[in-house]
Amino acid sequence: MMQVSANNSLISLLGRGDAPAQLQHVRRIPARQAVTVPWPAWAHPDLLAAYALLGVDAPWRHQIAGADAAHAGGHVVIATGTASGKSLAYQLPAVDAVHRAELRILANPGRLEDDGAVALYLSPTKALAADQLAALASLHLPTLRAATYDGDTEPGDRRWVRDHANFVLCNPDMLHFGILPNHTWWARFFRRLKYVIIDEAHSYRGVFGSHVANLMRRLRRICAHYGANPVFIGASATSSDPGASFSRLIGAPAVTVQEDESPHGATTVAFWEPELTDAKGENGARSRRTAIAETADLMANLVSAHVRTIAFIKSRRGAETIAATTKRLLAEVDPSLPGRIAAYRSGYLPEERRALERALRSGELLGVSSTSALELGIDISGLDAVLVAGWPGTRASLFQQIGRAGRAGQDAVAAFIASDDPLDTYLVHHPEAIFDVPVEATVFDPANPYVLGPHLCAAAAEMPLTAADLEIFPHSAAKLLDRLVADGYLRKRPAGWFWTHPQSAAAMVNLRADGGGPINIIEADTGALLGTMDSPQSHYQAHQGAVYVHQGESYVVAELNEQDHCALVRRGNPDYYTTARDVTQIAVLESLQHELWGPVEVHFGEVQVTTQVVSFQRKAFISNEVLGEEPLELGARDLFTKAVWFTMDNATLLQGGLVEPQFPGALHAAEHAAIGLLPLVASSDRWDVGGVSTAIHADTGQPTIFVYDGHPGGAGFAERGYAMARVWLTATRDAIRACECESGCPSCVQSPKCGNKNNPLDKAGAVSLINVLLKNAP
């Protein structure tokens, strides 16, 4: 186990000396001492004895602050770092209430059971629910009957859970499809519901977050019908204003506990930018060495020094490639080491997950490459090093990942390895944007009509909607109900709005979808259904020739049949991945908000986007080299969504130092980079948004840059971009400047999605143009 503490000693473990060329910055997160407090007087002695047997003698102060707030009857969100014991903060009040209620019932057998107490736990993944079930079982309280209720629960067990469990662990999908539509079966449970726990609350963002926000409003409505008013407790990673985000999620005010007072070893964080190579990409741009190849090198160096290491990357294929490459590199050094490397992804059976966790904890495994499956609340501590290959999507994710190192109290090293992306370029040169500013907001929009409308139908099917119910839902609900009545979805009666159709209203809503109905992914040779994909994604990810990855296995799409809603795939093991390219037109429907920045206008509003996927590229997995491009013949699609756009006149650009022939390339380059940098202020992925730029737009009559949400009705990302436009554009300009390429590359202004083959692009012109935009910004 590593016992060094000096920064240069830790950095040298990465294997490139004390000051390698790739190292741009080093930050040291200081060690943190624990602050403990006594147990609260209201906590039952049996529960305290149970925690004592688990070795928890003195809780941390933030745990009790959260528990006290919930016990006092207020909604609360605990937003602290990885491994800070958030689960105790919600377990303590919830299990205490359940335990005391069961003891009262045992002491008074004639007492009505509806005087009891139950708790509902919601998590985004089954794995996290399984971990929590194990944690509750470890308390060994005979009064606590905890059980999971999800798609894997046997039909025979479901009734037992409904009738007898007093701590139900569930996911939003099952609450939506299985519990709320059948709330009369759950009447006893809802009457006694005292606490609703929402774990990993920061993960509910974008369209998924908008769905879950409306689901929580439906849950609160059903609880009120049965006379219950449960306390909502959220557990969240650090985010910008977690109290406001959680309040928006549940539709009610909540307080925040965010001072982390758990112990943690010091962590040295390296910001690592792979060097430009002589390999040439599109339009002759030099390519960087990939984050995958660089991370495999670093992992091999760390493991050969017997430093326990985990590498995180967003894709399953990436995790497997890092593990395979690391094994090959280690085989040249020490034949005993390749067997101590593993890849980890979601989809493993619980016993496989437990075995891997044990092997990592014991040191039997020295290196693991993983998707974010290991990011969420999984019990792995005491690692010496963490490598993050490419920006994980949010600062919250980055802090969760690097928080895996040093959890046993020892000093640790972490490295963020930049991928070929404008946001990565910016962050690797501006660590203050990660450490010295609030974490980005968890963005979602419960009022999105494409999300809210189906939930109003589902609510009406559960119980007729009344005028009084509208206070729970977003303010646009009343107007939307009129449209749902006009379209024949609901029927208006004096008593309220009724669902009168025989089919399930809940089936209209797929919480994790972005609209358009599912495409079935079918293995052509066996007819097996591998999975589903939402229709809007299919042109990008299930076109003919696309590489599709399922449970770690690679397939190549043989045919996309949109008429029958299926894509036929065949098993393959290509050494490349595919990216689709599109061309886009945009029309302004309505400007909802606008600001004047001198001669520049900034708008947020509704737009119609027409997109056509025109081709796809094959790119080598290790090097990112373009191996070929093939045309596609797919129809254009319309998307009604929200956008932020910037307009300026020609004279203003000329005064800013641009000449007219530069306008198209400067606008195009600035648009690409702005899309890449939006995740800095909104919890989006660059694939969640799109953009259009033009030297003269038909609706504005001026040079215009649009950035739009890639989801029907919007997802809140463009609105956040509008609100944070000055910070967003400043970072965009600085990212372009920070890239050492001459005329533009994937690390600054080139886009992998660009159907115009990244032409024209003017890197220097983009910097001048953004300076013009910002000159009079407030």
**Whole-structure pTM value:** 0.84
| pLDDT one-digit tens code per residue, 370-381 | 887 555 545 555
Average pLDDT on 396-419 reads: 84
CA distance 518 to 534: 4
Using alpha carbons, select from 671, 668, 629, 657 the residue that is nearest to residue 760: 668
The answer to whether 104 touches 284, Cβ cutoff 8 Å, is no
Least confident of 102-111, 595-604, 752-761: 102-111
Q: Is the pLDDT of residue 514 over 70?
A: no
pLDDT digits (tens, 9 = 90+) for 168-225: 999 999 999 999 999 999 999 999 999 999 999 988 988 889 999 999 999 999 999 9
What are 439-463's pLDDT values in tens digits? 566 788 899 888 999 999 999 999 9
135-152 per-residue burial string, b: 16 or more CB within 10 A, e: under 16: bbeebebebbbbbbbbee
Nearest CA to 472 out of 134, 171, 183, 217 is that of 217
Spell out where 30-83 has E strands. 76-79
In 3D, which of 337, 392, 393 has the Cα closest to residue 367? Answer: 337
pLDDT above 80 for 114: no
Element (H, E) at 255: strand 255-257
Beta pairing, strands 255-257 & 76-79: parallel
Q: Which two tokens stand for residue 89?
A: 């903060």
Separation CA 355–CA 368 (nearest Å): 13
pLDDT at 345 over 80: no
Backbone angles phi, psi at 175, to 5 degrees: -60, -40
pLDDT class for 319, splitting at 50, 70, 90?
confident
Of 11, 170, 90, 54, whose CA–CA distance to 511 is shortest?
A: 170
CA distances from 289 to 286, 385, 419, 622 (A): 10, 22, 9, 8
**Residue recorded with tokens 């909502």:** 232
Whose CA is closest to 744, among 675, 689, 673, 686? 673
Contacting residues for 594 by C-beta, under 8 A, at least 6 apart: 601, 602, 603, 604, 605
SS (H, E, C) 615-654: EEEEEECCCCCEEEEEECCCCCEEEEEEEEEEECCHHHHH
Residue 745 CA to its chain's centroid (Å) = 27
Amino acid 756: pLDDT: 86
Q: So what's the pLDDT on residue 394? A: 81
Q: What is the pLDDT of residue 3?
A: 32
Taking the C-alpha atoms of residue 187 and residue 677, their distance in angstroms, rounded to an integer, is 48
**pLDDT reading at 498 higher than 50:** yes
Per mean pLDDT, which range of 89-93, 327-331, 619-623 is the poorest? Answer: 619-623
Alpha carbons 263 and 277: distance in angstroms, whole number: 42
**pLDDT (mean) for 601-627:** 92
| Residue 164 one-letter amino acid | H
Closest by alpha carbon to 652, among 692, 609, 704? 704
Q: Which amino acid is at 250?
A: I
- Give pLDDT tens digits for 538-590: 898 899 999 987 756 789 999 999 888 899 999 998 989 899 998 999 999 99
Please state, in angstroms and rounded to a whole number, the distance separating the CA atoms of residues 179 and 735. 48
